[in-house]
Amino acid sequence: MNDNRENKNDYRQKPIICRSSRVFSLQLVKFFNGCFISISEDNQKIGSLHVSTANASKVTTAKVIPSKVDSIFLTSISERVALMLNGFTIVNFSACRALNKLDMEDILSEILKLIE
């Protein structure tokens, strides 16, 4: 099936080296109606999973696998990206320990660069 819309389905992966010296692997798969974001420290694995959907200015988020720490940060990423894309966002997050403010800023900055 060939529709003449631009193909927005792509995959990107990059390391994030935070100012605190922690290293995360960021994987992002963009689709026409949303994206999947995976953030892992050390080994790539399934961790906390948040799903958001945006329609106009309303966002709904489900915490499929809740996070013991950093829940507000994950919800913020999921909802912000869903609003930017006006679609779905699935965020997977796995870390060895809780994030500090600098880690959060560095991770968010890299995600936003890949989305825009």
CATH class of 22-115: alpha beta
- Residue 6: what pLDDT? 52
Predicted TM-score of the model (pTM):
0.88
Write the DSSP symbol of residue 68: S
Geometric angle at alpha carbon 56, from 83 and 8, rounded to 5°: 55
What is the pLDDT at residue 16?
Answer: 96
> What's the confidence (pLDDT) of residue 9?
59
Residue 41: predicted pLDDT: 95
CA 106 to centroid of chain Cα atoms: 13
Position 66 scores a pLDDT of 92
Would you state the pLDDT for residue 108?
96
Residue linked to tokens 């995959």: 11
| pLDDT per 10-residue tile (average), the chain, 116 residues | 53 95 96 95 93 92 92 95 95 95 96 91
pLDDT of res. 116:
80
Domain boundaries of the chain, sorted by first residue: 22-115
